[in-house]
Structure 1
Amino acid sequence: MPALKRIDSTEAYVRFLALYRKHNDNCPAPSHTRKKKCLDGTVVEVTVHRRTGIIPEQVKTTFHMMLKKYVDNYNYVREKLPGFVYEESDRYPSLLTNNARMGEWCDCTDKTIYNHRKHLETLGVIKTKFRGRRSDYELWITPEILFGGGEEAKTENPSQTPKIDLLNTHGKTFLHSNTDRETKEKENNNAETLKSGYRENGYGERGGTKTPASPKDGLSEPIAQSEGQGAARRSKQEIMAQAAQERHKQADTLKSRMTPTLPPRLEKYFEDMLVGFWMYAWKVLYPDREFSKEQQELAISAIYHGVYNRFDDARDAKGWADFQARQLGKLDKAAKYYDHHPDAYLPDPYAVQVKGKGYFDAENERGFAGLEAWIKRDEVRAENRRNKNDEERQRRQKRAEQLLRQARRDFERLAAGAAQRQEVRGKTQLQLWNYYRLIFAGLGKQYERKFAQQYLDQQARDFQPPKYYQTKRQRKVYAADATVVIVDEWMTDGDWYYSEL
């Protein structure tokens, strides 16, 4: 998988400024006419052009601080975690923050940060995703700002290694102004760094110009012998290709030393689930911790037994996907708790002194295993809230239907001149309509529209009740004259009788 790209903060900020100025230059400037009184007392009209929709200057300062904090977190993750663990769809780390914390960094209020963040999201510079109930969110700066529009930044990739004349063994070689020579004996760096051989030094120094070792020193014995016997018979490209192959081989060896060993006889699907869970737990629960290969193996073993029960449960593919999503949700819930309670004790992922006291051990009910009961309690509370809301909605609906029937009867009795109820006695039709309009306005737009439609239907039929609303006595009065049919015996053959009417 591709490694994380290197971010140049200066170039990223320049790209942001270009986008910022382009947006402000394209904002419309409508004209407004103002009257101005001169010193001599005459009144003249002045046309004023004022731009609308521009982004204020303070947003640039806020973005500069966002970029600095994001790049610091990005470089930390890039240094501590190997680049091969990132998927193509989610390869860039995020910055976990909130408006209050950003306000402290930028020396302003959280409301100002909220407004500036909305400007930057509208501009398409940043993306956010809430991670928590109210305030915390993850922040990404778009790749177009970080690396340019589709252009590949400098990555730790052998294909982009600076080309050095391996046949030249004399003189001083001046390296690139922002790189320094990295010795290949330092195995604590990741494998991709070993492949490239060049990077910024650990002290932030730029422009190292000390004389490096001879390029032939890093070559294997066969290459040195081939150069000694007859370098003229081999091209420069062949020598560099073989050197790159040697670097790849050493990098794979180093990667195998750093990658923890997984439980045996696991399917590829289960291996991805196990490693993905551990890397996400490392990111959200232990971002400031460093684990060696042996410690990672202990943590993965604890997760394998305590979280996944050695994958012995009978589930289909969809069941395992849902199970994995639920476990990752538990990690989010635990991370949110520890973010809001920084003084709370977070155990190691594996047992250190007492068996079964690791955070992911199944025996530790106060660890990850206890989150299931916590989530179930939250689900019960959510279900109770939904039931309560349903009951309230049904009660409101029943009350609204009762008021609709009452309003229909009041209008019909008013049109017929019958006695009214005490609450609406003495009201005219307009007053009665306004009385019910205010009542239904408090129940919501839905019932207000129903009342208006019912009133229009009643007005169209002159406030006469429909036939299915009339009493038995009224239906008898308004019924048409009955038709009498004399039935003879020959008409009763079959199920019905014959009639010419």
Structure 2
Amino acid sequence: MLLRKINQKQALLAWHLFVEKMNAAQPLVERRRKHSDGSEQVFFTRTKLISGNVKDTGTRIILDYIKAYEQSVCLGFTPEHENDLPSLFTNSSKLSDMRSFSERTMRNHISKLRKLGLISGYQFHGTFHDFELWISPEIIFADQNQCKKMHPKAQNFNENFPGITPDCTNFPLNVSFETTGNLEKKSTTVDKGVAAQPGAVPVGDGQNGNAGNTNTSNTGPQRAGKRAKERLERPLAAKKQATGAGGAAAPAKPSQNPVFLSFVENFWQYAKTMLYPGYDFDETHDKLAKNGIWTGVYGSFRIDFDEKEWEGYHAECMKRIDLAEAYYRKRPDKYPPMPYAEFVSGSGYFDRENKFGFCKTHDWLVQQDTWSHQRRVSDALRRARSDFWLYKEGKAIKRIQEKSPVQLFEYHRNRISKLGKDALQKFYKQHAPVQES
């Protein structure tokens, strides 16, 4: 039995229309407003059953499920029956990072989406393990005809969409206006939602994604990738400046270390699965791609890194594949160029000369690390403020309350000092050393 293909555009459209349909089906409530001149205006409000935040969380889960579904297909998943579908392994912490929510809020969103029917299956595996979930087939496999039936103006919505029967009524009162007759259309509240979480997916086309120009001078631990990028670009700049016989001489070719060969092989197999799932590369094309990765991504391994540093750089390159995959998954109208140059030299996706190719993902990774570090600093400072306040009120947990004021100050200072000088300066501004009387 073959798995059905998912049309991401149609699936997201189906979810959008489902939300619009459910919100439009809510009853109108008459409201009256008195103006300063004594006149009275009658208007009608409609409570939203599905808020913008819950809708965006559903969209995020759909995208993650499609990615997990396609990975399962590539790995040879075979359904045993018609309703046997791959699952998405995830957790509230991972999803909350993508949506800039607390884990409790994310758990509430998941509960609402289960009651709405978007999440058709849920399997809990313990507090410290990922849970499994499945998306409703009516959403994930929706076609154009189903989307037409799901339009808010369509009739008999529950008959056209029997797989989703929402029974949840405990939703936030996000209000939007509806007017009748000759009443002027107005709006009292705007559902602003939340800003897109920048840590998980690169924003825009990545051309302005350089995270080096941040407000803080400390962007967390030093990364091998930053050093590698700087050294990889030096011979490229020298090559452009060299002219004629007086140009820079080509350095000697390093020996093909088996570890380096395994890095390139591992990188290409993962990139081929994530970025080129629909391509069938033969042996010649595989060789061309690996040559481009060897020189463009790893700089022919000419940098004087030790084994541990090369392993760290390789791990970062694998993360950059995930960032590139997320970028193209969110933009179905775009696709990565071929991994090697076909017509113009240096135009391959992994070529160093292609400044808008894979090398751009380095800036995305730096930006992601910067945001992640800033979030850790904010959490540490918030925890310190909470402990100091609870300690003063005598309500802190036992191991905190047993400390002296100086010990408590040193405890948090040592924790925050690991996050860099900027974090420590912020801590000093918030809390001065406390001396025992």
Q: Does the pair score TM above 0.5?
A: no
- TM-score scaled to structure 2, two decimals? 0.36
Which structure has the greater CA radius of gyration?
1
